[in-house]
Structures are given as C-alpha cells and as structure tokens.
Amino acid sequence: MNKISSVFQDKKAFIPFVTAGDPSLAITKELVLSMAKAGADLIELGIPFSDPVAEGPVIQEADYRALAGGVTTDKIFAMVEELRKECRIPIAFMTYINPIYTYGVEVFMANCRTAQVDAIIVPDMPYEEKEEIKPLCDQYGITIISMIAPTSKERIHRIAKEAEGFLYCVSSMGVTGVRSELGSSADAMIAQVREVTKIPCAIGFGISTPEQAKAMAEIADGVIVGSAIVRLVGEHGEACVPYVTDYVRRMKEACNQCQ
C-alpha cells in the first residue's frame, strides 16, 4: 500500500483542491498548511494552465489569476519544497498534459520526487495515453491517479484494474463546478469498480455542501472538493485562509459522520 492509498485506511478521506498561486504562492502555502490542520487527508494542488478544458468558470478564473500573477511550474516546485519543511500531508498535483510534456516529463517527475509530491492527476490524459508519462512516473515513484466518468461504462474494469493510489470518480457529466444536484451514477460506477479491485474510490466534481459530502462519503472512500474552495479564495483573496480552513473543517466533519 503506498502513501496515497494509506490515506483512505479506516476513514473517509477529505481531499480539498486549490490552484497554486491563487492569489499568491505564499497564500497557497498557508492554505495547504491550515487545510492539513483542519483535517484534510490529501491536498490536490493545481498547476495552472492557460486552457483548462476540464474546468468550469471558477477554476478557469483561478488559473488565469495565478498565471497573470506570474506563477510558473518552477516556482510551484520551490513552494512545495518549502512547505515540506513543515508538513508531510500527501500532495497530488492536478495539471494538464501539456505543462508536464513541455517542461520535460523526466525533469518534472524528478522534481516531484525532490519536492515529495506523491501523485499526479492529468484530466486530459485518458487510459489510452498514459504511457506518455507512466514509465517515468514509475521510475521516480510518482503515482498516476486514474479517472472514471459516468460515460466510462465498460471501460471501468480496464481502468480500475490498472489504477494506483485511488480512483477518481467523476460524479456527473461536464466540467468542474458546484452543482445543486449530483449525478446518480456514482453508486453504480463504484459497484463496477468493486467487481475487479479494492482500490479506494474518491468522488469529485460538483460537491460543495456538507450534506453532499456526507452523501458521497456514504458510497465512496473519499470526497474531493475544488470549485467551492477556489470560489472562497476568489472572494476573499489574501484574506481567504480562515474562511477556507473553516470550510474544510466542516466538510471533514461531514465526511466523518458516516463512519
């Protein structure tokens, strides 16, 4: 069991997402530290991309803000290295294939190892294309998090069998962003996963309220929340840390309620 899978042992994991560099890397570092203290089990850290096609407007805006502020992949690596002096919470980078490919896959993975980044989530790299980075991820010990979606159907078995760390289950159709109604397909998707593997499943896309988090934690091993947090960061800017911390605490409590 690797460091990522162990996050899900004996508890429902809460996984918050923030875009690195929004509103600044200093705040991102503070956010990670205080989210960890507030009960987050794993942090998803977005490396902003100019054209994030899997994101809804909230995270798109965060990416634009971060890039406009001069954030680069190098500066993000440096920030995580600093962070590691204080905190060992598992971290997964969430970014698109181009920032990894253009940076150089090997350098990227080597830097991930140096900064002790544990995993990587690449929404525009489906099962068929994962060989693009897998050999170097394996070499440097970086876990690739695979995704399944409501349209995956017969693909789920194949993807789940080869998945590592945890399986990212996309709750509903479309891009990231808060939804009042979550799709009803997560239950069936996870049942399909369970036919072939015991890998932990975390549900993401659309979750924002403690009620939704609790409901999703009932059927999965973890809950991922992005846009709701990024929206708080967008609203409060430099002053966002206490708001986000409080939100993460409430969401983690909601996850705990279903044990």
Contacts with another protein, residue ranges (CB under 8 A): 49-51, 53-54, 56-57, 60, 64, 67, 72-74, 96-103, 123-129, 131-132, 147-153, 155, 159, 170, 173-175
Measured distance CA(259)–CA(214) in Å, rounded: 10
Phi, psi of 246, deg, nearest 5: -60, -40
Measured distance CA(112)–CA(77) in Å, rounded: 7
In the bound state with another protein, the residue whose beta carbon lies nearer, of 60 and 212, is 60
Measured distance CA(218)–CA(190) in Å, rounded: 12
In the bound state with another protein, the residue whose beta carbon lies nearer, of 39 and 150, is 150
Rounded least distance, CB 174 to another protein, Å: 4
Phi, psi of 75, deg, nearest 5: -65, -30
In the bound state with another protein, the residue whose beta carbon lies nearer, of 135 and 242, is 135
Rounded least distance, CB 124 to another protein, Å: 5
Rounded least distance, CB 259 to another protein, Å: 30
Rounded least distance, CB 130 to another protein, Å: 9
In the bound state with another protein, the residue whose beta carbon lies nearer, of 77 and 247, is 77
Alpha carbon 239 to chain centroid, angstroms: 23
In the bound state with another protein, the residue whose beta carbon lies nearer, of 30 and 187, is 187
Distances (CA, A) of 35 to 87, 113, 223: 11, 22, 14
Rounded least distance, CB 160 to another protein, Å: 12
Helices and strands, counts by H and E, the chain: 12, 8
Helical spans, DSSP H, in the chain: 3-6, 25-37, 57-68, 73-83, 97-103, 105-114, 134-140, 155-162, 186-194, 210-219, 227-236, 241-256
